Structure 1
Amino acid sequence: MRGRTPRTTPRRRARGPLRRLTAAAALVLTAGLLSPHATAAADEPAPAADYCAGQCADILPPGANGSATLVEILGNKLFGTQPAHADDQLGPYDALSSGYPSLTDDTLSQFFNDSSFGVPNGQVGSVTRPREDVTITRDKKNGVPHVKGSTRYGTEFGAGYAAGQDRLWLIDLFRHIGRGELTSFAGGALANQGLEQEFWPQAPYTEDDLQKQVDWIRTEGGARGAQAMKDAQAYIDGLNAYREKAKKGRYFPGEYVLTGKIDAITNIGEIQPFKVTDMIALASVVGGLFGNGGGGEVDAALSLLAAQQKYGVEKGTEIWESFRGRDDPETVTTIHDGTRFPYGAKPAKARGQALPDAGSVDREPLVHDRTGSAATAARSGAVTRDPVRAPARLKPLQGMYDDGVLPEDMFRDSASKKGMSNALLVSGKHTASGHPVAVFGPQTGYFAPQLLMMQELQGPGISARGVSFAGVGMYIQLGRGQDYAWSATSAGQDITDTYAVPLCEPDGSAPTKASASYLYRGTCTPMEKLERKNAWKPTVADSTAAGSYRMQVFRTRYGVVTHRATVDGKPVAYTALRSTYRHEADSIIGFQMLNDPSYVKDAASFQKAAQHISYAFNWFYADSRDIAYYNSGANPVRAENVDMSLPVKAEQAYEWRDFDPADNTSAHTPPAQHPHSVNQDYYISWNNKQAKGFGAANFSLGAVHRADLLDGRVKKLTAEGGVTRASLTRAMEEAAVTDLRGEQVLPELLKVLRSGPITDPALSKAVQQLEAWRKGGAQRNQASAGSKAYAHPDAVRIMDAWWPLLVKAAFEPGLGGDLYQALTGQLAVDEAPSAGHGPTGSHAGSAFQYGWWGYVDKDLRAVLGEPVQGALGKRYCGAGDLSSCRDALLASLAAAVAKPATEVYPGDDTCKAGDQWCADTIVHRAVGGISHRSMQWQNRPTYQQVVEFPAHR
C-alpha cells in the first residue's frame, strides 16, 4: 500500500460471507493492514531526454493501482469506496465515446494523460527507494510509477518492486494459470476451471521445460539474451523484495486472506517466492491470448468434407475455398500500395494431406476424474452464475466464462479468439504539422485490475514509458521511447500446424484410436503423458463446494494431441505444433531492443528490433519523420506444396524445414518475406489482412471487415490533408461507436428490400427506422450526453435481432443444414456488442471481429447483379433470384421485428432483461477483490496512445 486515500462512492449492502468478515475487519484495522508503505514525497530525479514536447498522451483504464488490502476490499464491497488511483483513468476513457465529436488538440487532455517522461515539479505524489540505486516516483494525478535507476540491476529491481506494489495478486494468479494450477490456488469457481483448461493445454510445460527455456535464452540468445536473463532475475528480485516487505508490514493484497493463504489476525501464511520460470509461465498465457495464430486445421477439414459431401469433391472444394477466402481481392489490407508478400497460398497440387474419414473424429478429452463440485458442474452442464459485481461473493477470476457453462471443448485447435487491437498512422506528408501522427494501442480486455501495467523505466540502456503485461514488465512492451513510439495489433498469421500422427502399439499388435504410442520416423514411440491434479476447498472468496479433477494431455514430437480419428481406415492422433512452443519468452530480446535508445534510432532499426519478436504481431512505429510497419512472427518454412490450412501427414517429407523436435526449432521465413513498409501514406490495422498474397489463418478476412471502419475514414482524412492528433482520434472513436453491419452491409440489404413494394405496415416502419439509422451513421451512440439510450434504439434492436436470422435465411437453404453448421462452426455468424463471445464473454467491448458480413455482402451484390470480385462459389439468397431473396429477407425481418427487447437482450447478472444500453456496456472483469462501475460501449483499444513527435535526436 502506498498511503492511499479511499474515495467514496454509493454504499452497497453487504451480504453472505463478507458480512461475516466485519468483525474480523475491526481486528485487521488494528493489525496494521492500513499502514502505508511509502516514503515521504521528494524531488523528482531529472528526466531523460524527451522529444515529444508534450504531444504524447495515453490512457489505460481503470487505474494504475491494481492492489488492495483486505480493508480496502471490504470498503469497496460494503461502502463502494475505491483505493487511490484504482479507477481514476476510467472516467476520461469512458467520456470519449460521447465527447469525441468536438475534440480538438487542446481538449485531448480531457480524455488522455500526458505521457511525457518524468513527473513535473509539484506533481510528485510519493517517492520510494527500495535500493540506493533506484527511485520509484509516482505522480499525484494517476499514481503511475516512474522508475529511475543509476544501475541496470537497480532499474530492473525497481520495475519488479513497482510491479509488486501494483499487481502482486494478479501476477500470482497468472503464474498459476500458466501452470494449470489456478483452481488449487484460487478456488474451484467455474471461471477458474475454464481459464486453466484454456491455457495449460497450449503450453503444458513441466518445471524442467520452463527452466530449459530460460537456459536457451541465456545461452542461445547471445549477449542480449544473457543480459535479458540478468534483467529478468533483477525484476524477480525486486518483486520478491516487495512481497517480503508487504507480508511483514501486513499491507499485502487482501485476496491472500480471502482465499485462505494468510490469516488476517495472526499473519500466519506465506506468499510463495517468485522465480524467473514464473515469467515463462506468464509469457505462455500472454502469447496464447494475443500472439498466437493458425490452428483449426481439423475443423477446417471437417467443413471441407461437408462441402464435398454436399456438392461432390470438385464443386465442394470450390465452394469451400470461396468461404475460406485465403486471398480475398476485396478485403482491406494494412499495406495497400500494391506490394505483395506471398505466404501460405493454396498449392496447385497439395502433398501429404491427411483428411479424416467421415464420422471418425473425436476431440481429445482434457478433464478426467471429477469429484465433488467439479463432478456436479460436469453432470449439470451449467451452474448458477456468480454476479460479476456481486458485493457478497468474490470470485477471483469471475466473468471470463460467465455464460454459466463449463467449456468442455476448450482444448481445441481453434483459430478464433485472437486480436482486438487497432492502429491508425498518417505520414507527415498529410498532416498539419508535417510530422507523422499516430493513434494506436492493444485491446487486452477490461479487467479489475487491468492485465497491463503502466510504467516508465529509465536506466542504463533503457529509456521508455508505456505498458507491460503484469509479471513480465522488465521492459516496456508497448509505448514510447525518447523520440519514437510503437504499438502492436495481433496478426494471427499461421504459425501452428496440425499433423496426423500414425498410432501404434509397442508389442506390434493392431493399434486403435486410444493407443498411446505413435510412429516417429518409423519407430513406435510412447507419447508423453502430462497431468495436472487440482483440488479445492471452499474459501471466503470462493464458496464453491470442495471438488477436484485431473487434466491430462499427451505430447508427441509433433506437438500436443488434440483429436483422434482414422485416415484411410488407420487410427491417427492429430497434434498441434506451434512454432513458438518451447520458445515463449524468446521475444524478450526484441522488447529489450525497443527499450534501448542506442538501438532504435529510426524506422529501419525499429523494424530490425521487431524481427526478434517471434509472436504473430503487427508492429507500428512513428517518430518525427517516419511511420513504419513490420509483421513479426516465427513463420515456419513448410515443405514444398504442403497446404497449411489442412492437416498433414506426420512424415519427415512434410515436416517444417530443418525441424528439430528436441527444442522445437526449424527454419523461419526471412524478414524480407514478412509484410513491412515505411512511409506509406497511412496505415490502419484492426486484426485485418496484412497484405495481398499473405495467407490468412482464419475465415474472417473477407469483403467486409471491421478494419473498413478505419480505412475509409483515414483514407478520407489523408486525401483532405491537414491531419491532426484530434482529427485522427475522432476517426478512431467514430469507428469505435459504429455498427459494422449497419455501415457496410445494410445498404445492400435495403436495396434488396426496396426492390419491390413493402405493404406490411410493421415491416415498412422497420425499414424506415433502419434507413434513418443508416443515414445517421449507423452508430450505437447516445441520444444525448448521459442519457443511457441510443439515438436510434429501435433500429439497433432490429439489427441485433435480424442479423442471425437473415444469415440463416439467406444461406442455410442453399448450403444445407450440415454444411451450414460446419461453416458457422468455423466462423461465427456475428459478434454484436451485446453478445457473449471471445475469451472474455459478454460486456467485453470488442465487437465485429468475426462474422459473416463479407459473405452476406458478396452474395447480395451478386443477387443484385452488381460487380463482385472473388465471388462465392454460387448464389445463395433465394437461390440467386432477387424476388425470392427479398421474400426470405422480409420473412426474417418480420421475425426480428416481432422479437421483444427482453428476448433480444435477455439480461444477465449485470443487466435487466430488455435493457439495450446496459447489454452493450463494458464491465471490468474482477480478477481480484475490487470492482468498478461499467462503461458505455466503445470498440476501442484498452491502452491507447496519441502521439506526434515534433523533433528527433
Structure 2
Amino acid sequence: MRRRDVRLRTLTAGAALALGACLVAPLPGAGATPREPAAETAEQSADYCEGRCADILPPGANGNATLAEILAHRLLGTQPAHANDQLGPYDALSSGYPSLTDDRLTDFFGDASFGVPDGQIASVTKPRDDVTITRDKKYGIPHIKGTTRYGTEFGAGFAAGQDRLWLIDLFRHIGRGQLTSFAGGALANQGLEQQFWPQAPYTEKDLEKQVEYIRATGGERGERAMEDAQAYVDGLNAYRVKAKNGRYFPGEYVLTGKIDAITNIGEIEPFKVTDMIALASVVGGLFGNGGGGEVESALSLLKSQEKYGVEKGTKVWESFRARNDPEAVQTVHDGTSFPYAGKPEKARGTAMPDPGSVEREQLVYDREGGAKSGAKDPVRAPKKLKPLQGMYDKGVLPSDLFRPGSHKKGMSNALLVSGKHTASGHPIAVFGPQTGYFAPQLLMQQELQGPGISARGVSFAGVGMYVQLGRGQDYAWSATSAGQDITDTYAVELCEPGGGTPTKQSTGYLYRGTCKPMEKLERKNAWKPTLADSTAAGSYRMQVWRTKYGIVTHRATVDAKPVAYVSLRSTYRHEADSIIGFQMLNDPSYVRDAATFKKAAQHISYAFNWFYTDSRDIAYYNSGANPERADSVDPALPVKGQQAYEWRDFDPENNTSAQTPPAEHPQSVNQDYYISWNNKQAKDFSTAGFGHSAVHRGDLLDGRVKKLTEAGGVTRASLTRAMSEAAVTDLRGEQVLPELLKVVRSKPVTDPRLAKAVEQLEAWRKAGAQRNQTAAGSRTYAHPDAVRVMDAWWPLLIEGEFKPGMGKELYDALTAQLSTDEAPSAGHGPTGAHAGSAFQYGWWGYADKDLRKVLGQPVKGELAHTYCGDGKLDACRDTLLTTLAQAVAKPATEVYPGDDACEAGDQWCADAIVHRALGGITHKPVQWQNRPTYQQIVEFPRHRE
C-alpha cells in the first residue's frame, strides 16, 4: 500500500507524532456538483498507442513527505516510496544510449499507456463515489477516472494534494508575494519575492477579475474551465483537510511552524481558485513569457554609439542583437516567412534615455530586523539547503529560479520525424519540457479519464485540472519555450497631478494628455524564527507603481524630461486564459488531427512552440498573445508612452489589444522533420533578446536529425539516440572549436605545453566533443583534460577576442545583455549551477562569425566589425594562444572551485545535475545531460476512424 494509507507512529522532537490513514469518504461541504457533459463512453479512454508511448519524469511521482519521513531521510538516508525511483533510469540513459534499441527503451522510460494492468495496481482511493485514483506499483503515478466531470477534476485536485501539497502551497505564496511570511525570512525567500512579485503584483481583486474575465469571454468552454478549476480546488482542499486531521500532512508544515507536531494545532490555509491564477502567473512567468529588457538594450546601444559613433555603433549593436540572423538554425526550415517584431526601416517613437540618467526603481522599504542584503536590487542566496536544524536557513527555494534575466529562460526540446522517413511509416516524436531539476519536481504525472477528458502526461503542480503536456488517445503533444517578444517598455512622461514641476520621483504621469496618479501596490511581509529557519524576526515592505501602460521598472530623463519606464506584457491580467487551449487539448472530441491541434494551440496566450504527432502527421504551431504594434515602432527599444505608439486597439481596463492573426504565427504540417531547442522559429520571425546567432544548441539536434532523415528508416531508438548524443555534447567543442583550431594551426605550435593542449582538444573534437563518462558510474570523463582546458579557455578567449576592440564599457554592456558562456559547470547564467540545461545563452555564434571572417571564409549576417586581432590572422592567433596558455595554467581547483555539492576540482560533480530541494527530501547528484526533464517517446501505429 502507499504510505498514505498506513497509520504510522514515530518520535520527533521528543514527542510522538501521529500519522493517519487516508480516508476515502467524500468530505461534507465539498461543493455542489455543477452541470455535467455526457457520461464517458468506452471509446473515450481507448488507447491507440499499443505500447509505443513511453515517458519519464525524475526524481519520482511522490513529492510529499511526512515529518517522520523527512527525519528518517536526513538521519538514515531513506527515501519515501516513489520519491526517486525514476531518477535511476533517467540518469542511465546518458551512458546507455549508444546501444539503445526499441526493445530496450523500457530500461530508461516508463510505459505511458492508458490505465493500470490488474497485476500492477498498488492502491485504489475513492475520495468521492464518482472518481477513483488508481496508482501503479512501479512508479506510483495517479490514474484518475471519473464517472462525472466534477468527480474527475475533484480527483485530480485530490491526487495533486497527495503528491505536491507543500509545493503547491509554496508556489501560491510566491505568486502572491508572500513567501517570507509563509516560509521564513531567509535571504533566498526574500529574493524570490523581490524578483517575482513586481512582474505580477496583483491584488485579490485583480485575481478575481481574471476569473470573471475567463467566464465572461470564454463562452461555454470558459464557464466549464472555471467549474473544472473549482472542482480541482475542492479536491485539493479535501485532501488538505484529511491530511491535517489524519496527521499525514507534509512535514515541512511542522518545520516552518505552521502546525505543532505534538498538539496538531495549526492550519493549512484553504485553497481558492484565485490561488490557481497566482500560481499560473509563476509558471507562465518562468516558461511562457518573452521580451522585456528594452531599457538595458537601450543602454547597450548607447554604449555602442558612444564607442563607434551613431551610424556604425548602431550597425555594430544590431549585428550582436541578431534579430534575423540568416545563419540561425530554424524550426521551420522550408523558407516560409513569418514576419514579426522586426526592425522597422525608420523607427518612430523610440524613447532613448539621456546618458547617465537611468535609475532602477526602488522596490524594498521599511526593512526591520532579519537578514539584510543591504542592496536595493533583489537579493540572491546560495542554492543548497542545510540538513536538519536550519535546513531552510538559506531559503526554501534557490533564488536563481527568478534571478534577473529569468524571463529569458527557454529550455525544452523536441525532435519529430515525418512518417515518410521512418521505418514504420508512422511519425515519431521524442520531446518534452526542460523545466529544471527540483525535489519535488515542478511537474507531476497524471492520467485523467472522464466525460470530455482523456489524456495522460504532466501538469504543473497546482494547475493540473488538465494535462498540459502529454498524450491523448491517438495523438501526443509537447512544447518548448518560444520567448518571442510579447513585452514592451513604454516611457511615460512624469507630471504632478496637483501642478508643479515634475521630477524623476514624481508619481503622476501623462496618459492620453491627462495627468493621472500612479497606483501604488504594496506587499508587507513579516516573519519570525522557526525550526526550519533560524533567521531573526524581521519585516519589510515591497512597493511598485502601476500605470495603465504597466509596472514602473526604471526612471530616467528623455530629452531632459523626467520619465518612468514601464513594462507592459500582453499576458498581464491574463495569466490563466490559456486554460481553454489546454481544455481543448484534453478533449478527444475536439482534437482529432493536426488541424484541430493547431486550433487548440491558438487559444494558448503564452509564448510556446507546440508540437503534435499522431499516426499520420506531425505539426508545429507557435502560440502567444503577440500584440499588433503601431506602425514603425521598434519593439527592441523603449517607446514613448503616447497613444500614437500604443498597441492597436489597446484597452488598459483588462490589458487587451489587437493581436496578430493565427495565420501569421510560425506553423507547419508534415515538414520532413522538426527540431526545437528554444532556437529561432522561422524566417523573419524576430527573436526577443540576444543570442540567436550562427551557433545555437539547436544545431546539435538539427544536424543529427537531418542526417537521420536523409538516411531514412528512423526508429524510436535512433531518434532517442540522436537526442541523447546531443545531450552530452559540448556545443563549443562541436561547433566553434574547429575554427579555433584552424586559426591556431595556421602556423606550427612550438610551445610544448600548448601543443599538447591543442592535441588534446583535437582528439576530443574528433571523438565527438562529449562530456561523458568512461563508463556508467565512473564519474570520470573520457577526455577530462580537454574538457577542463575548454572550460577554462572559453571565457578567456572571448574576452581576449572582443574586449580590446570594443573597450571595457561596451564589452561590459553587451555581456550584461548576454553572458559569454553557459557551460554545464558554470554557476552563472539564467539556470545557475547543476541545472542540466546548458549552452542556451552564450557568445558562440559571435565567435564563430568573427573567426570565420578572420579565416577568410564566407559569413552571412556578419558582425559589423571584425574583432579577433583586429581582423588579422596572425594577431588573432596570438590572442588565442595567449589565452590558451592562461587556460592551461589554471588548475582544476580553479576551473571547478567547488560548492555545497562538490569538492573543488571535481570536474564530474561540477557538471552534475543536483535536484534543488523545495522541501525536506534531497537526492544524489547524477551525470550531466542536457535533455528535457519530462520526456515522451511516441509512435502511434493507428488512428481513430
User: CA shift at 1:486, angstroms?
Assistant: 0.1
Task: Work out the CA distance in 2 between the residues paired with 1:202 and 1:928.
Answer: 25
Q: What's the offset of the Cα at 1:376?
A: 5.7
The aligned counterpart of 1:13 is none
Name the residue aligned to 1:947: 938
Contact 1:645/1:697 (CA < 8 Å) preserved in 2? Answer: yes
Indicate the residue corresponding to 2:355 in structure 1. Answer: 358
Structure 1 equivalent of residue 188 of structure 2: 191
Once residues 182 and 457 of structure 1 are traced to their aligned partners in structure 2, the CA distance between those partners, rounded to angstroms, is 31
Equivalent residue number for residue 15 of structure 2: 27
Offset of residue 199 of structure 1:
1.5
Q: Paired residue for 1:665? A: 656
Q: Deviations over 1:441-460 (max 9, x none)?
A: 00111111000010000000
Structure 2 counterparts to residues 716-755 of structure 1, below 5 A: 716-755=707-746
* C-alpha distance in structure 2 between counterparts of 1:36 and 1:358, whole Å: 64
* 2:211 is the counterpart of 1:214: yes
Asked if residue 69 in structure 1 is aligned to residue 66 in structure 2, the reply is: yes
Letter in 2 for 1:130: P
What's 1:903 paired with? 894
Is 541-550 or 99-108 further displaced after alignment? 541-550
Could you tell me how far 1:533 is from its partner in structure 2? Answer: 1.1
Identity, % of aligned positions: 77
Aligned counterpart, 2:28: none
Among 103, 106, 111, the residue aligned to 2:103 = 106
Task: Tell me the equivalent position of 1:293.
Answer: 290
- Partner Cα separation in structure 2 for residue 594 and residue 136 of structure 1: 22
Give SS of 2:102's match.
Answer: coil
Measured on the aligned residues, the alpha-carbon RMSD in Å equals 1.9
Query: If the length of structure 1 is used for normalisation, what is the TM-score?
Result: 0.95
Aligned to 1:756: 747
Per-residue CA deviation, residues 812-848 of structure 1 (Å, 9 max, x unaligned), is: 1111111111111111100010112355521111000
Counterpart Cα distance in 1 of 2:826 and 2:170: 27
Q: Per the alignment, in what secondary structure is the counterpart of residue 554 of structure 2? A: strand
Q: 1:855 aligns with which of 846, 851, 874?
A: 846
Of the three residues 337, 341, 349, the one matched with 1:340 is 337
Alignment of 1:273 with 2:273, yes or no, is no
Deviations 1:233-288 (A, max 9, x none): 00000000111111111111111111111111111111110000000000000000
Question: What is the aligned partner in structure 2 of residue 12 from structure 1?
Answer: none
Q: Deviations over 1:795-823 (max 9, x none)?
A: 10101110000000000111111111111
* Counterparts of 1:934 and 1:34, CA distance in 2: 33
User: What CA distance in whole angstroms lies between the structure 2 residues aligned with 1:557 and 1:380?
Assistant: 24
Please name the residue that 2:477 is paired with.
Answer: 486
Answer whether contact 2:383 2:916 (CA < 8 A) is retained.
Answer: no
Q: Which residue of 2 aligns with 1:678?
A: 669
| Distance in structure 2 (CA, Å) of the matches to 1:524 and 1:783 | 68
SS of structure 1 residue aligned to 2:134: strand
> Offset of 1:418 from its aligned partner?
1.7
Residues 378, 319 of structure 1: alpha-carbon distance in 2 compared, 3 angstrom cutoff? closer
Alpha-carbon distance, 1:550 to partner: 1.3
Query: Who is 2:770 aligned against?
Result: 779
> Hey, what's the Cα distance between the residues in 2 that align with 1:239 and 1:397?
29
What is the match of residue 172 of structure 1? 169
Q: Aligned-pair distance for 1:143? A: 0.4
Deviation at 1:395, TM superposition (A): 1.9
Q: In the alignment, what sits opposite 1:201?
A: 198
Mapping for residues 80-99 of structure 1, pairs under 5 Å: 80-99=77-96
Q: Residue 30 of structure 2 corresponds to which residue in structure 1?
A: none
Q: 1:703 touches 1:855 (CA, 8 Å); kept in 2?
A: yes
Equivalent positions of 1:460-475 (< 5 A) are 460-475=451-466
1:559 correspondence with 2:545: no
| Deviation per residue, 1:310-345 (Å, 9 max, x gap) | 111111111111111110000000000111101111
- Counterpart in 2 of 1:260? 257
User: Residue 106 of structure 1 aligns to a residue in which SS?
Assistant: helix
Partner of 2:370: 373
The structural deviation recorded for 1:759 is: 1.1
| Aligned residue number for residue 616 of structure 1 | 607
Using the TM superposition, give the Cα deviation of residue 507 of structure 1 relative to its aligned residue in structure 2, in angstroms: 2.4
How many Å apart are 1:193 and its aligned residue? 1.4
Contact 1:335 1:691 in 2 (8 A): yes
| Match of residue 3 from structure 2 | 3
Query: What SS is found at the alignment partner of 1:301?
Result: helix
In structure 2, distance between residues paired with 1:944 and 1:312: 49
Q: Supply the AA of the counterpart residue of 2:645.
A: Y
Provide the residue aligned with 2:812 in structure 1.
Answer: 821
Q: 1:180 to 1:653 in 2, by over 3 A?
A: same
Contact 2:446/2:456, CA 8 A, preserved across alignment: yes
Summarize the alignment of residues 421-500 of structure 1 with structure 2, pairs less than 5 Å apart. Answer: 421-500=412-491
List alignment gaps of at least 5 residues for structure 1. 7-20, 40-44
Distance of 1:273 and 1:547 partners within structure 2 = 26
Matched residue SS, 2:3? coil
Q: Say if 1:124 and 1:38 are closer, same or farther in 2 by CA, change over 3 A.
A: farther
Residue 64 (structure 1) shift: 0.3
Q: Paired residue for 2:113? A: 116
The partner residue of 1:592 within 563, 574, 583 is: 583
- For residue 926 of structure 1, report the CA deviation from its aligned partner: 0.6
Provide the C-alpha distance between the structure 2 equivalents of 1:638 and 1:711, rounded to a whole number of angstroms.
33
Match of 1:875 in 2: 866
Query: Partners in 2 of 1:502 and 1:415 — Cα distance?
Result: 28
Contact 1:402–1:841 (CA under 8 A) maintained in structure 2: no
d(CA) in 2 for partners of 1:382 and 1:943?
A: 30
Deviations 1:121-155 (A, max 9, x none): 11000000010100000001000000000000000
Mean Cα deviation higher: 113-122 or 366-375: 366-375
Taking the aligned partners of 1:674 and 1:93, their CA distance within structure 2 comes to 34
Corresponding residue pairs, total: 926
Instruction: Give the 3 Å change call, closer, same or farther, for CA 389–738 of structure 1 in structure 2.
Output: farther
User: What one-letter code is carried by the residue in structure 1 that aligns with 2:78?
Assistant: T
Partners of 2:406 and 2:830 within 8 A in 1: no
- Using the alignment, how far apart are the partners of 2:24 and 2:884 within structure 1? 61
SS of the equivalent of 1:347 reads: coil
Specify the alignment match of 1:235 in structure 2. Answer: 232
CA distance in 2, matches of 1:379, 1:643: 30
Map 1:482-521; keep pairs closer than 5 Å: 482-521=473-512
SS of 2:15's partner is helix
8 Å contact kept, 1:389–1:931: no
Q: CA deviation digits over 1:154-212, x for unaligned, max 9?
A: 00000000001000110000000000000110011222112222211110000000000
For 2:35, the equivalent position in structure 1 comes to none
Kept in 1: contact 2:819–2:829 (CA 8 A): no
Distance 1:210 1:830, change over 3 A: same
d(CA) in 2 for partners of 1:248, 1:442: 36
C-alpha distance in structure 1 between counterparts of 2:394 and 2:454, whole Å: 34
Q: How far is the alpha carbon of 1:918 from its aligned partner? A: 0.6
Q: Indicate how the Cα distance of structure 1 residues 358 and 581 shifts in structure 2: closer, same or farther if over 3 A, else same.
A: same
- Offset of 1:26 from its aligned partner? 5.9
Give the conservation status (yes or no) of the 8 Å contact 2:350–2:639: yes
The 8 Å contact of residues 422 and 941 in structure 1, kept in 2 or not, is answered as: yes
Matched to 1:78, the amino acid is L
TM-aligned CA deviation for residue 3 of structure 1 = 2.4
Q: Deviations over 1:569-625 (max 9, x none)?
A: 000000000000000000000000000000000000000000000000000000000
Which has the larger displacement, 541-550 or 780-789? 541-550
CA pair 117-382 structure 1, distance change in 2 beyond 3 A:
closer
Runs of 4 or more off by more than 6 Å in structure 1?
A: 379-384
Structure 2: give runs of 5+ residues left out of the alignment: 26-40
Q: Residue 782 of structure 2 aligns to a residue in which SS?
A: coil
> What letter corresponds to residue 518 of structure 1 in structure 2?
Y
| Contact 2:187-2:372 at 8 Å conserved across structures | no
Partner secondary structure for residue 12 of structure 2: helix
Residue number among 91, 113, 131 corresponding to 2:128 in the alignment: 131
The residue that corresponds to 2:567 in the other structure is 576
